[in-house]
Amino acid sequence: MSLEQSIKDAFKGVNYPGYSRDIMSFGLVKNLAVANGSASIELELTSHNPEVAAQLKASVEAAATSVDGIDRAMVQIKMPPAGQAPAAAGAQPNRMPGINKVFAVASGKGGVGKSTCAVNLACALAQEGGEIGLLDCDIYGPSVPLMMGVNERPMVSPEDKLVPLMNHGVKLMSMGFLLDGDQPVIWRGPMIMKTIQQFVMQVDWGTLDFLLVDLPPGTGDAQLSLCQTVPLDGGLIVTTPQEASLGVVRKGIAMFEKVNVPILGIVENMSYFTAPGGERVEIFGHGGGASEAERQGTAFLGEIPLFTEIREGGDTGVPVVVKDPEGAPAQAFSKIAAALRARLD
């Protein structure tokens, strides 16, 4: 391995102060050169923050000189002048204090079971213990209120923050709580983004081990800028076998890569159906998720068959993971939750 590569590997252990994400995944390292045991390193911050710069300088120096063969490190940190708005790039200062890990659930289009996965994974993670939050950013079809069996106006705290609602052991916030009944959402792009960005940063989550974000379906500009608004530690992609085989998953991966968000893996939903007679029917084909994950060099986290109980859980507000934790449908989700936890730790 080259010394440059060893240094980059060492930087993966250097977190951005206050974040659980490292400086490599944030894309902060702009230049790195090695000559005669000396490393010269240039970092670029997206906001003016001398305190962060000083901390990073020290930890980057230490990480670089911890590499065998590197005796000295010269670290230069660039940042915009004071008073300038931060650029819309990977490392955003919009940190969410008190939250350990934040990850988003994305899909290529609607109807593949993204929200079903987000809801059941949140409940499965909560069952294992730990504080879990679920943020529904899907303004086109906020389904978390229905699927989690909660639909109330959230209270506003004395600090003017939205207080999450709670059900099935999960703290919840959804645009759906704030919208009026069946009124269709007809806001235009910039308006939508502004609203969601404000919404996202105004929730009083308290402390959380994991926050799951249900993104709007698709991988376009709106989803991309949401990924920039929320400081994400990872992205999860839900696909059907057939969607995966059409290469839609690739767009999801590209979206997360553009904002330096690590891909946690792919979940294949609606993998197959077991007929009452026991016959296995692969309605949308099968294995597309796994083979696409392999092609893309990312993890395959598991598959979820079609089960009537999953759909019923969604419609009645009691997710199948809560209703029947020992059943096969719940187990499919629990396995994926365990794989996710392992990837995030």
Question: Interface residues with ligand ADP (CB under 6 A)?
Answer: 107, 110-116, 143, 217, 269-270, 304, 306-307, 310-311, 314
Determine contact, residues 323/309, Cβ cutoff 8 Å.
Answer: yes
Minimum distance of ligand ADP from residue 106's CB (angstroms): 10
Q: How many helices (H) and strands (E) does the chain have?
A: 13, 12
Interaction partner, residue 112 (Mg ion, ligand ADP, none; CB < 5-8 Å by kind): ligand ADP
| Beta carbon nearer to Mg ion, 138 or 303 | 138
- Record the tokens describing residue 316, joined without a space: 């009645």
Determine contact, residues 272/279, Cβ cutoff 8 Å.
Answer: no
Dihedrals φ, ψ of 236, to 5°? -120, 140
Residue linked to tokens 């943020």: 135
Task: For CA atoms 102, 106, 89, 298, give the dihedral sign.
Answer: positive
- Residues with Cβ within 8 Å of residue 199, at least 6 apart in sequence: 137, 162, 173, 175, 178
Interaction partner, residue 137 (ligand ADP, Mg ion, none; CB < 5-8 Å by kind): none
| Beta carbon nearer to Mg ion, 46 or 143 | 143
Q: Does 115 bind Mg ion (CB under 5 A)?
A: yes
Dihedrals φ, ψ of 134, to 5°? -130, 120
Dihedrals φ, ψ of 204, to 5°? -90, 90
| Beta carbon nearer to ligand ADP, 252 or 314 | 314
Minimum distance of ligand ADP from residue 86's CB (angstroms): 31
Interaction partner, residue 218 (Mg ion, ligand ADP, none; CB < 5-8 Å by kind): none
Interaction partner, residue 334 (ligand ADP, Mg ion, none; CB < 5-8 Å by kind): none
| Beta carbon nearer to ligand ADP, 14 or 150 | 150
Neighbour tally for 129: CB within 10 Å: 9
Q: Which residues, 138 to 157, sit near Mg ion by CB under 5 A?
A: 138, 143
Among the candidate windows 66-74, 130-138, 150-158, 249-257, which touches Mg ion by CB under 5 A?
A: 130-138
Q: Is 242 buried (19+), middle (13-18) or exposed (0-12) by CB count in 10 A? A: middle
Minimum distance of Mg ion from residue 211's CB (angstroms): 17
C-alpha closest to that of 68 among 137, 155, 10: 10
Interaction partner, residue 205 (Mg ion, ligand ADP, none; CB < 5-8 Å by kind): none
Interaction partner, residue 296 (Mg ion, ligand ADP, none; CB < 5-8 Å by kind): none
Q: Does 239 bind Mg ion (CB under 5 A)?
A: no
Site residues, Mg ion (CB under 5 A): 115, 138, 143
